[in-house]
Amino acid sequence: MWHEEKLYRLTQKLRSRIGKRSIGWLLCLCPLFSQGASAETIQLAWDPVQDGQVAVYQVHYGPASGQYNNMVDTAVNTASIQGLPLGSTYYFAVRACDTSLINCSGFSNEVSTTIQIPSPAASFTTNTVAGTAPLTVLFTDTSTGTITGRNWQFHDGDSATDATLVTHTYTVPGTYTAQLSVTGPGGSDTFVASTPIVVQPPSNTDGNGSDGSTGGDGSDGSDDSSNDGSGNDGTGNMYNPAPIDFNAHTLVSFPGQDLAGGAVIEDGGSTLRLTGNTWKRLAYPYTVTGSTVIEFDYRSDLLGEIHGIGFDNGGASANPARFFALEGTQDWGISSYSYPGDGGWVRFWIPVGQHYGGNFDNLVFFMDDDANAAGDARFRNLVVYEE
């Protein structure tokens, strides 16, 4: 008993002595939080204590201020703490101890941080990037991160949500740059395919006599290469005559509709741009048959009431059964061919002859926007041909 009591007193004395000396240890816990590849890993650093007695630092931490229910030891003045729940806030304080781990300093200042949830990174792959309409493409989501929502835009007017495997069929020939947007608790991300999907018209093997006029294709080589070149010229298909040179045509106001803004010819004649509330006709005598196709690049930067194109024979009124409405806030015209509305160029392939036929005098381009006179529409590399 005596020995035990003596030992106890001696221990208390030592503790007291070391403990008093330990009071002088001051720790500044620097709020150096960084998150590594594994986002839930937190790095901490603090000023070292310049005292030979200090053998270990204890980092105490927990999900509430002053309530530290976790602790890690380290011999140096930094620590890496792993496995913290994403989105939670944690509080940290450090103290220095001697080798006994009994004699320790008080806690340093407390610091806290919220464990950030990493933003998802969107990406996808496709099983093909080219083919003949109708072209069915399998899209596979390869995004990373925590994802709670997906939005697929195929840019032919169709979209899909949520699924990680999506099959989409492009029925209208053209060049489509699909994109996937993902969202999660850490944010959102959008991935735009680096390689567009080129959908070619159904192969034309009937040796249509009108193809002989396609000798002029050379003049549109530069334009085609950025849009539908791989679909058209690459295959040597002769379905595509030279596009309209708008500079070679006279634009005529459509009665009662050509009210604001105007028409500008761009790209050396290959593009007609309408702005405001503008309708234009140009003389283009053509007999629309069951095989007639009108094909063009289209782009809009500002949405108006009706954006579109069609044939007509003059006159004072617009017949909605003749005009294709590509987009707009007004429900008017043939709306089977839709622009996705993202501001980029989209190739349209419209089988006009499947909607109407007969002899026509004009092509009509319209950018109707009576309310705001603020629309924008561009038509480029336009061709009319027999399929």
Which 225-264 positions form the footprint of Ca ion (CB under 5 A)? 257
- Binding range to Ca ion, per CB under 5 A, among 6-14, 123-131, 138-146, 365-373: 365-373
For position 374 contacting Ca ion by CB under 5 A, the verdict is no
Question: Does residue number 305 form part of the binding site for Ca ion (CB under 5 A)?
Answer: yes
State yes or no: residue 370 binds Ca ion (CB under 5 A): yes
Q: Is 104 left (phi over 0), alpha (psi -120 to 50) or beta?
A: beta
Q: Which stretch binds Ca ion (CB under 5 A): 52-60, 144-152, 297-305, 316-324?
A: 297-305
Residues ≥6 apart with Cβ < 8 Å to 78: 43, 44, 45, 46
* Closer of 200 and 257 to Ca ion (Cβ): 257
Residue 88 CA to residue 68 CA, distance in Å, equals 15
CB closer to Ca ion out of 105 and 278 = 278
Shortest Cβ 306–Ca ion spacing (Å): 6
Name the nearest CA neighbour of 272 among 304, 300, 233, 235.
Answer: 300
Spacing of C-alpha 13 from chain mean position? 70
Piece in contact with Ca ion (CB under 5 A), picked from 6-14, 151-159, 289-297, 366-374:
366-374
Q: How many CB atoms lie within 10 A of CB 155?
A: 24
Tell whether residue 327 is a contact of Ca ion (CB under 5 A): no
Least Cβ distance, residue 381 to Ca ion (angstroms)? 27
**Cβ 262 to Ca ion shortest distance, Å:** 15
Options 368, 376, 386, 387; binder of Ca ion; rule CB under 5 A: 368
Find the shortest distance in angstroms from Cβ 257 to Ca ion: 5
Show contacts of 59-64: CB within 8 Å, 24+ apart.
Answer: 59/92, 59/93, 59/94, 60/92, 60/93, 60/94, 60/95, 60/107, 61/90, 61/91, 61/92, 61/93, 62/90, 62/91, 63/88, 63/89, 63/90, 63/91, 64/91
Q: Catalog residues that contact Ca ion under the rule CB under 5 A.
A: 257, 305, 368, 370
